[in-house]
Amino acid sequence: MALFPHDAGAGGGTAAANLTKANQACYSCRKQKRRCDKALPACSLCTRMARHCDYSEVQPAPTAEDFAVLQGKLAELESRLTYSGGSDVSSGHLSPPSRSASHSVATPQLLHQEPLWQGGRSNFPAAVFLDSRMFQWSGFQLPKPTMEVPPYVLQCIGNAEDLEQTLSDYFDDIHPWFPIVSRKRMAIGYQIWGETGGDIALLLLAMKLITSQPQRGFTASENYLYTAAKQFVAFLESVGTTSLAYLQGIVLIALYEYGQGVYPAAYMSVGQAVRYAEYLGLPSYKNSSAMLGHPMTWADAEERRRVWWAVYIMDKLVSIGAYRRPMCPEPSPDELLPTNDKAWDLGDSTSAYQRPVSSPFSDPQSTFGRLCQSALQAATALRHHTALERRKINGERYDFTEVAGMMENAHILCKALQSDFTTNPGAYFSLIAARCLNFTAVLKILAMYASGESLRGVGSEWNEEEMTLQLTAVDGTKKTAAFVRDFAADLFAFISLDEDVVKTPPMVLDTLYLASMVHHNAWKDTGDPIAESSLETTRKCLVRLSGRWRLGKELLDMMESHEAHYIVGSNFSSSRLSGIPLVVMNMS
């Protein structure tokens, strides 16, 4: 009888009901002090009121001991995030996930001690660019950025002894051929650079960078001074720095990039310098005074002029190799060239003489002024190349009169430089930069005419004048290569000591490379032993200088690549001279 259905239901009803009830009243009933039937999944009252029924146990209030334990855990977590003992923080490597972590949620974390970007607060008024006249008429002044020099910059600059060494190296090795920083001002200013601001700190860092030597196993872009300088430049820009020293720092960084073959960074840095010089109002005395204030002395005004010319020179150096369009505007004919270098160093305005851009190349000129004149020749070559390409597209003939005029000017400048070498042999390293840039500029012009395709328009026929010019250009290539070979032999004798290698400007490397290519082609075409010997002379000088300027190694690698193509049977006709800079035909 006990197995009847009604008996089973009656006997097990109480046990089943207990299994479907919670152990305690729900939270709402406890809070309202109502009777709870503890039904699952929700009590009858919560079901009737359509509210959430919560049977969870009530946690006791945290004690002071609980708070102390929590604070200890937070401190331990902060310590792990800060120091990260198991990961390479300084190099920014990814730390591996913990072994105890689930593979489905473990994500590598990029740990770094410093933020990826260091910015600063800028109070720079946008009206300077939006409406400069309104800004000037309103009488507003440019605010001085409030900032502290970052620790990594201080570490790179070093102590007082390091500063003395940096200034000594710079003014001994760089200043003679690129005098754009006032020696007298730095002799006073560097002692209080920590009070004057970040612009002077950047200039000191850039001076240390340009005098640094390449290190084996590291590229030039991996130089810690270089990475620090590039980061600091961006930081000073973000806070609205307006300073001549800031522009000087950018120029020296660009010079480092050019000399060490860091591209496209060199090209971009020069573009930044051009823009910043335009912003400062250089080379105009009136416009620059509005941004920088009136110069206190004649030497201050001269320094501004020299910095603008340095930007102009760098613009041509990074443009002429590939015939790229220069960014820096051309000076007016009455714009003044830099004055006597020694007079400027001494602050002696009575011994200074200045001549305009339009003055003849045969007139006496300072060593830096000669470099500026060579840069003007490079600008002429670039303009002529643009015009020639346009004529070729339109099927027009070239202008023989214009070519003859450029060759004549280059010849006059070359003779003036040779005269300067004779009268001032102590300025050897100061003058070779101008000499080589002049060679490169003129030979780039003649290279345009060494190829028949450059002489004729589309569908036009050869004439006697064009044939004569091409033969003259090819002959000029050979003569120029011989002059460069002699120059390389003299230079190699001068740089037998390492202390003299560091004084050599990087402008000579392009000329040595181009002459080497001419000698190489002549040797391979004719087997001429003189060409082979000449190639060895110029190449040996390149190898010697590549220890100071990595650009030399880049050019040597290009020569090896050219040799490899020659070996595999590339067809080099006489037209391969196209694109190789040539020098004037008569250098005597």
pLDDT for 5 beyond 50: no
> Bridge partners of 21?
39
Closest CA to 518 of 565, 471, 483: 483
> Do 144 and 197 touch, CB atoms closer than 8 A?
yes
DSSP 258-309: HHTT-TTHHHHHHHHHHHHHHHHTTT-HHHHHHHH---SSHHHHHHHHHHHH
Least confident range from 95-104, 237-246, 386-395: namely 95-104
- Cα 23 → chain centroid: 74
Answer yes or no: do 286 and 227 share one domain: yes
Mean pLDDT of 462-489: 83
Final residue before a domain boundary, out of 318, 336, 355: 318
Q: Which residue has the higher pLDDT, 453 or 427?
A: 427
pLDDT tens, residue by residue, 390-401: 888 887 777 778
Residue 278 lies in a domain: yes
How many structural domains does the chain have?
3
Mean pLDDT of 33-62: 77
Which amino acid, 297? Answer: T
- Do both 406 and 314 map to the same domain? no
Name residue, tokens 């391969």.
Answer: 576
pLDDT score for 335: 95
Q: How far apart are CA 535 and CA 533, in angstroms?
A: 5
Residue 572, pLDDT score: 42
157-215: pLDDT as tens digits: 999 899 999 999 999 999 999 999 999 888 776 555 444 578 999 999 999 999 999 98
- Tell whether 314 and 374 lie within a shared domain: no
Give 488's strand partners.
none
* pTM of the entire predicted model: 0.75
Mean pLDDT for the stretch of residues 23-29: 83
Asked whether the predicted pLDDT for residue 129 surpasses 70, the reply is no
Mean pLDDT calculated for residue range 143-148: 75
Distance (Å, rounded) from C-alpha 491 to C-alpha 487?
A: 6
The percentage of the chain sitting over the pLDDT mark of 70, rounded to a whole number, equals 75
Query: Can you give the pLDDT at residue 574?
Result: 43
How much is the pLDDT for 1?
Answer: 40
Pairwise pLDDT comparison (130 vs 511), residue with the higher score = 511
Q: What percent of the chain has pLDDT over 90?
A: 43
Residue 138: pLDDT band by 50, 70, 90 thresholds?
A: low
pLDDT at 569: 54
pLDDT of 583 above 50: no
Task: Please tell me whether residues 303 and 392 are part of one structural domain.
Answer: no
> 245 is in which domain, residue-wise?
148-318
- Say whether both 304 and 416 belong to one domain: no
pLDDT of residue 91: 36
Domain boundary among 318, 343, 358: 318
- Is the domain of 254 the same as that of 179? yes
Has residue 11 got a pLDDT over 50? no
The pair of three-digit structure tokens given for residue 270, joined into one six-digit string: 């020069």
Contacts of 509 (CB under 8 A, 6+ apart): 542, 545, 549, 551, 552, 555
Q: Are residues 388 and 493 in the same domain?
A: yes
Question: In this structure, is residue 203 part of a structural domain?
Answer: yes
Q: Kindly state the average pLDDT of the residues 451-477.
A: 71
In a domain, 12, yes or no: no
Residues 299, 378 within the same domain: no
- Tell me, yes or no, whether 406 and 499 share the same domain: yes
- Spatial contact of 185 and 303, defined as CB atoms under 8 Å apart: yes
Q: Are residues 418 and 296 in the same domain?
A: no
Q: Do both 378 and 309 map to the same domain? A: no
Model pLDDT, residue 85: 42
Task: Confirm whether 101 is domain-assigned.
Answer: no
Query: Tell me, what's the pLDDT at 468?
Result: 82
In a domain, 360, yes or no: no
Domain final position from 255, 287, 318: 318
Structure tokens at 278: 């335009």
Residue 89 belongs to some domain of the structure = no
Q: What is the mean pLDDT of the chain?
A: 80
Domain check: are 404 and 522 in the same one? yes
Residue 392 has a pLDDT of: 81
pLDDT tens profile 512-562? 998 888 888 888 878 889 989 999 999 999 999 999 999 999 999 998 887
Task: Please indicate whether residue 522 or residue 126 has the higher confidence score (pLDDT).
Answer: 522
**Residue 374 belongs to some domain of the structure:** yes
Output the pLDDT for position 470. 81
Query: Is position 95 within any domain?
Result: no
pLDDT value at residue 250: 98
| Two structure tokens written together for 365 | 């000129």
